[in-house]
Amino acid sequence: MKEQEIYYYSDELNDEFSGSHIIPRVIDEKYKYLHKNIFWNLAHFLVQNVLSVPIKLLYAKLKKYKKEGYFVYANHTQVFADTFLTSNVIYPKRNYLIVNPENVSMKFLGNFVQMFGAIPIPTGRDGMKNFLNAIKYHIQKGHSITIYPEAHIWPYYTKIRPFKSVSFKYPIELDKPVFCITNTYQKRGKNKVKITSYIDGPFFVNKDLETKQEQKKDLRDRVYNQMVERSKNSNFEFIKYEYKDKK
């Protein structure tokens, strides 16, 4: 068996191990989040609902919400596969993903990524209105929106990194249910690893709490704790992560 790779981190919230060095494009009020062009939408349909059909599955617990928009929170442990893993579970519902601007900044591939469902976070306040309108539009259309609250990619990481509650404002403001998907890792052969995904939910906003801040924290904590519990099903570290103090 090959020697295990070791990644050293010092900041669980901000360290990034995706290996990409893309200069992000500016996402402002000029960025087109919603496309009305028939050819664009046809291409979008082909990319998201045809190209990966053979590996898509519909889980029973999501059937009840097949006509309702909802939010999905997932751990971020694969550079490319994360988008497919989530969309496969949700098929045939259209799934959109909130991503960093780098994901739509690649020449030629940027449009393909957007067709797959990428909704890039604005680089400035001037783009926030269109960004929020796009989220609201897709939820009202009965689509799902996936969020990676850990924000940064740690390939094959077997634990759940601490994440903030800020991204839980969307289901609270739009009063929609939340699901979480936890991808776990098990050994398969000498140098192979398999991914097992767990779906939990729905989680609902606790309206007995007085403030939105309390509601965000409560929803975040319930999702986080469930993901931590599911992550214990990982039994193999393909890549080992070790803390290294910058001091």
Prediction pTM value: 0.83
- The whole-number pLDDT of residue 62 equals 79
pLDDT of residue 92: 73
Choose among 89, 86, 156: nearest CA to 117.
86
From residue 209, give the alpha-carbon distance in Å to each of 71, 73, 116, 221, 246.
Answer: 20, 22, 36, 14, 40
Q: Are 78 and 155 in contact (CB under 8 A)?
A: yes
Please tell me the distance from the alpha carbon of residue 5 to that of residue 87, in angstroms, as a whole number: 29
Task: Identify the pLDDT of residue 33.
Answer: 72
- The whole-number pLDDT of residue 16 equals 84
pLDDT value at position 21? 60
Q: From first to last of its 247 residues, what are the pLDDT tens digits of the chain?
A: 456 789 999 999 888 887 666 666 677 777 777 767 665 555 555 555 544 443 344 456 777 888 899 999 999 998 777 777 777 777 777 889 888 777 666 666 656 667 778 888 888 888 899 999 999 999 999 999 999 999 888 999 999 999 999 999 999 999 999 999 999 999 887 778 888 889 999 999 999 999 999 999 999 999 999 999 999 999 999 899 999 876 5
pLDDT at 57: 43
- β-strands 5-9, 95-99 pairing: unpaired
- Give pLDDT, residue 157: 94
